[in-house]
Structure 1
Amino acid sequence: MPTTAPTAAPTAAPTATARALVAPGKGLLAIDESQPTMTKRLARIGVESTGATRLALRELLLTTPGLEEHVSGVILYDETIRQRTSSGALVPELLAGAGIVPGIKVDRGTVPLAGSPGELVTQGLDGLRERFAEYAALGARFAKWRAVLRIDATLPTPACVSANAHALARYAALAQEAGLVPVVEPEVLMDGAHSLERCAEVTAQVLREVYAELARQHVTLEATLLKPNMVLPGTLSPETGTIEDHVVAERTVAVLRDTVPASVPGIVFLSGGQSPQEATARLDALNRLPAPQPWQLSFSYGRALQAPVLDAWRGEPANVAAAQAVLAERARLTGAARRGRYDRASEPAAPVAG
């Protein structure tokens, strides 16, 4: 009588990958913008968004000399992971050859959450097991899924928090089944007039639900990373611009210590609506806190690393070297903040806000 083959023991590779992604002085570069988002970014500098221009920008970023000194992994978009660079190499091959871990965004954006006006839920679970198999074959070793939660006096509702936490956990379980490290991103948005304390309250609520769902879905936390927002007042709050970086750091870590298990190897903060200088200074403040933390405090920045590069490049081949120099410097400063060694006086004389 035939018997079912035993399930293979989990491999140690994803756990090692998770740790490598938060190696000292390093973090993630997010270039996983969807085509509509990339169209907006390129339009800002007067460049038409085509497959060729999107690849030109991303190749500029990924071939920056010395990028691997401060960037451990890169989050790619579905289009990009399939493209070949001018050297003929697939983008994941180019990254792996430089000692940078290729990753992939797998969610398919947000849709309105039924029964919860003004709230969103992330889609993309249908067919994800098959997509993970394809992405792993293309060279991806980690993945990312983003949930979006809005704040006001009554939002987010428990239904929205629960729906997004459940989707994040199901995604994470499927990622680990495929041998990839899941980066779990529950983003509490900066939009609105909420206070720092309201952001702290909601962020804690969301993270508690996320980790409860991860446990229910049997996700191995040692082979995951968390990509959260920092605790910040809303962009329309009277507090914005008045709270010092060390206060942001202290309040953020207080929330994390109440909600994130110590077995998670690293926390890679998103830059959200912060300028490159703000995102760097606050990461530095986080890493200067006197008490040791159970997890590495790192970064997974998109606009905070890319915005100055776009302004230097503007779609001109003659500007590639100058734009790469801008990225190299931005990555160096962010890597210094990752170690708690950032000096704001070392910023360029006329920094460009993101």
Structure 2
Amino acid sequence: MANYQWKHADELKATAKAMVADYKGILAADESNNTATKRLEEVGITSSEEARRQYRKLLFNAPDVDNYISGVILYDETIKQSDDNGTPFPELLKGRGIIPGIKVDTGAKPLAGSPNEKVTEGLDGLRERLAEYYNMGARFSKWRAVITIGDDMPTQQCMEANAHALARYSALCQENGLVPMVEPEVMINGDHDIDTCEEITEDNLRIVFDELFRHNVMLEGVVLKTSMVISGLDAPKRAGVQEVADRTVSTLQRVVPPALGGVVFLSGGQGDVEATQHLDAMNKKFKDQVPWRLTFSYARALQNPALATWGSDMSNTEQAQKNFGFRAKLNSLASMGEYSEDMESKVA
């Protein structure tokens, strides 16, 4: 059934194209309540539903970020929240030309038969939840799989189980008019070298795209959110910026179909500047050689400066917003290969 026709095909293609528009990337603001609590407490803020709302409001209202951000991934709590004047966050974002998205998986759980690995859950009731989110204004969604490198890991069982879930999720999304963001994250934790990361990233992406094909998913209406090919954080010798860029893009060229709607990268534990440098190096060298836009979908690598400022003084919203906008602008430039490290020293 490779010629299956999705009812929302035109809308899906248009949304995917807009998600990876020139000079723009996607803000991941979909931290679960537990993760958001951890982030807030790290900077001295007591987490509550209201504190989380205030923080997300700060990001969504930041001046000029609509020039750099095409979409925002929301969490279930956040998509149901509103600005101070009662405007629902999806409506607020849409009014700025930013596409609302929604995280729909329910988290990675221990994989039966291989308990040191994880499989992502959340398929039960997903069709109904997607219809509800679409009616709230969401036009894309996200599902994250976790692939860990370690002793005898990842197993084929883990990669196949997660790819199957990603494919079922993607088909349900397209049935309901939402672009699936497919996130098969190869974790940066560990002491593995870049060769190992490249091999596993390639194997895993092959399995993912095989499953998407088997489930009749329309690739033009899919955005891949992928980790970079990078050394483990504890590797004795970590690969440099250009090698990460070269290895990442060459891996994508071998396994990612040209029809795909776009590619966005997660920062995945990289430093703020490091994530920007890698994205810039890819686009400086390859942006005219690949069939897809290569841009960003960062969480911490976009939010860290704003959160640190806000945590030190919650009344200092304006400076926190400037710091967020500055980081977004630098990554926007990197998404076109127009960033330089000396820009980091300029005042936001």
- Shared fold by TM > 0.5? yes
The equivalences for 1:95-114 within 5 A come to 95-114=93-112
Pick aligned residue for 1:323 from 310, 317, 320: 320
Match of 1:248 in 2: 244
Give secondary structure in 1 for the equivalent of 2:208. helix
Q: Is the 8 A contact 1:102 1:142 kept in 2?
A: yes
Pick aligned residue for 1:283 from 275, 279, 285: 279
The Cα shift of 1:349 comes to 6.8
Match of 1:335 in 2: 332
The Cα shift of 1:343 comes to 1.0
Distance 1:257 1:251 in 2: 10
Q: Is the 8 A contact 1:53 1:315 kept in 2?
A: no
Distance 2:275 2:6 in 1: 42
> What CA deviation, in whole Å up to 9, does each residue of 1:56-100 have, x standing for no partner?
000000000111100000000000000011121000000000000
Match of 2:24 in 1: 26
Q: Is the 8 A contact 2:7 2:175 kept in 1?
A: no
Pick aligned residue for 1:75 from 65, 73, 80: 73
Q: Is the 8 A contact 2:28 2:72 kept in 1?
A: yes
Q: Is the 8 A contact 2:6 2:174 kept in 1?
A: no
Distance 2:253 2:147 in 1: 21
TM-score by length of 1: 0.95
> What CA deviation, in whole Å up to 9, does each residue of 1:140-191 have, x standing for no partner?
0000000001002421000000000000000000000000000000000001
Gaps of 5+ in 1: 1-6
> What CA deviation, in whole Å up to 9, does each residue of 1:6-62 have, x standing for no partner?
x97443011000000000110100000001101110011111110110000000000
Counterpart check, 1:42 vs 2:40: yes
Gaps of 5+ in 2: none
Distance 1:282 1:128 in 2: 35
The Cα shift of 1:317 comes to 3.9
Distance 2:341 2:278 in 1: 11
Q: What fraction of aligned residue pairs are identical, expressed as a percent?
A: 50
Q: Is the 8 A contact 2:63 2:325 kept in 1?
A: yes
What is the root-mean-square deviation of aligned Cα atoms in Å? 1.4
Distance 2:312 2:60 in 1: 16
The Cα shift of 1:214 comes to 0.3
Match of 2:255 in 1: 259
Counterpart check, 1:137 vs 2:139: no
CA spacing shift, 1:159–1:178, aligned 2, 3 Å: same
Aligned amino acid, residue 286 of structure 1: M
Aligned amino acid, residue 289 of structure 2: P
The Cα shift of 1:350 comes to 9.8
Q: Is the 8 A contact 1:270 1:301 kept in 2?
A: yes
Q: Is the 8 A contact 1:196 1:239 kept in 2?
A: no
Distance 1:96 1:155 in 2: 42
Give secondary structure in 2 for the equivalent of 1:314. helix
Aligned amino acid, residue 127 of structure 2: R
Give secondary structure in 2 for the equivalent of 1:20. helix
Distance 2:6 2:42 in 1: 50
Give secondary structure in 1 for the equivalent of 2:166. helix
Distance 1:292 1:255 in 2: 14
Aligned amino acid, residue 85 of structure 1: D
Counterpart check, 1:271 vs 2:279: no
> What CA deviation, in whole Å up to 9, does each residue of 1:194-230 have, x standing for no partner?
1100000000010000000001111000000000100
Match of 2:64 in 1: 66
Match of 2:150 in 1: 152
Match of 2:299 in 1: 302
Q: Relative to structure 2, which stretch is displaced further, 156-165 or 244-253?
A: 244-253
Distance 1:224 1:117 in 2: 30
CA spacing shift, 1:164–1:316, aligned 2, 3 Å: same
Give secondary structure in 2 for the equivalent of 1:347. helix
Distance 2:254 2:144 in 1: 22
Match of 1:198 in 2: 196
CA spacing shift, 1:45–1:191, aligned 2, 3 Å: same
Aligned amino acid, residue 262 of structure 1: P
Aligned amino acid, residue 62 of structure 1: F
Q: Is the 8 A contact 2:9 2:221 kept in 1?
A: no
Aligned amino acid, residue 322 of structure 1: Q
Distance 1:248 1:315 in 2: 34
Match of 1:121 in 2: 119
Match of 2:164 in 1: 166
